[in-house]
Amino acid sequence: MRSRKTPWLSVALWSLLSFVTLFPIYWMFVISMKAPVELFSTPDILLRSLDWSNYVEVLESPTLRGYMVNSLVISSGNAVLVTALGFLACYALTRYDLPGKESIFFWTITNRMAPPAVFLLPLFLLLTQVYRIGDFSLLDTRIGMILVYCTFNLPFAIWTLRPTLDAIPKELDEAALVDGASAWRVIWDVILPLARPGLAVTLILTWVFAWNEYLLAATLTNFTARTLTTGLSEYVTTTGTAWGIMAAISVFTLIPALIVFSLVQRHIVTGLTFGAVKG
């Protein structure tokens, strides 16, 4: 063993960056623990007492509970759908000789090139006018929001998954075909396990996009499919802003994200295809 000097500079830099990123979260937590009266007295960044009343209020509100469920259903539904579709799209893009496939691949990303606000009106018309059967329209439905987020997340999924699938040698597909697998078996038994790290990254990032999205959720939902992020804004009213409640809601939005991250993160490992082919 070689003794090494402690790299003080790195440690200092690392501590500074951690402080900068973590401090707002800490402060949010402090705010959520205070009654409104306390908040508007002298600002104080220390946690003096634990006052859970904001959390109780959030949890006891059926509306907010509904928003939380909506957020979970929409983000998870969207992330799973988009990752599955993106995976299949990339399988086709990397395995088949499709005429013009490079153009298809390139143009999908254009959906991400304009700010989402540009798509507000077309999406609104799509949900209210195009996809409607009698009185039923996709506006203000969870499934509607899941599909809306596909517009932005699917191109992203295709672009992140492409290199993953490109890196899986095609000879593995061929070996499996010769070994008697059907096309679906090849995807399920060979490609899917090897694409796991890429799928995990895609799942997390698309989930976070839908979970944190505000603009589209605020305009394309009224009540039934409203999400937590839009719920936040309901506490900014003409009579004042309920900072404590908002901070408590924010903590509630943070927790599921952390859980999803920790569940998916262990699949992000490298070197899965090592040993498949040599030469």
Partner 1 sequence: MATVQIRGVTKRYGGVQVMHGVDVDIEDGEFVVLVGPSGYGKSTLLRMIAGLEEVSGGTISIGGRVVNDMLPKERDIAMVFQSYALYPHKTVAQNMGFPLLMQKRPKAEIEEKVRKAAEILDLTKYLDRYPRQLSGGQRQRVAMGRAIVRDPQVFLFDEPLSNLDAKLRVSMRVEIKELHQRLRTTTVYVTHDQIEAMTMAHKIVVMRDGRVEQIGRPLDLYDRPANLFVAGFIGSPAMNFLEGRLATRDGRRVVETADGTALPLEGAAAEDGRRVTYGIRPEHISVGEGGIPVKVSVFEPTGSETLIFGRLGGQLIDALVRDRIEGEPGQTLPFRIDPRRAHLFDTATGVRL
* 59 CA to centre of own chain: 23
Using CA atoms of 141, 108, 185, 74 in order, give the dihedral in degrees to the nearest 10.
-20
Q: Which is nearer to partner 1, 44 or 189 (CB)?
A: 189
Interface of this chain with partner 1, residues 183 to 242, rule: CB under 8 A: 185, 189-190, 193-194
Among 109, 259, 269, 277, contact with partner 1 (rule: CB under 8 A)? 277
Q: Contact region for partner 1 (CB under 8 A) — 2-10, 83-91, 207-215, 265-273?
A: 265-273
CA distance 96 to 104: 13
CA distance 6 to 4: 6
39: contact with partner 1 by CB under 8 A? no
Q: Which is nearer to partner 1, 64 or 161 (CB)?
A: 161
Phi first, then psi: what are they for 129, rounded to 5°? -105, -45
100: contact with partner 1 by CB under 8 A? no
Q: Contact region for partner 1 (CB under 8 A) — 30-38, 217-225, 226-234, 266-274?
A: 266-274
Q: Could you tell me which of 273, 274, 225, 243 has the C-alpha nearest to residue 75?
A: 225
Look up tokens 């209020």; give the residue. Answer: 57
Q: Contact region for partner 1 (CB under 8 A) — 67-75, 119-127, 254-262, 267-275?
A: 267-275
Among 158, 176, 232, 245, contact with partner 1 (rule: CB under 8 A)? 176
174: contact with partner 1 by CB under 8 A? yes
180: contact with partner 1 by CB under 8 A? yes
Angle between helices 170-178 and 62-95 (to 10 degrees): 80
Label residue 12 exposed, middle or buried (CB < 10 Å: 0-12, 13-18, 19+). exposed
269: contact with partner 1 by CB under 8 A? no
Interface with partner 1 (CB under 8 A): 169, 171-172, 174-182, 185, 189-190, 193-194, 271-279
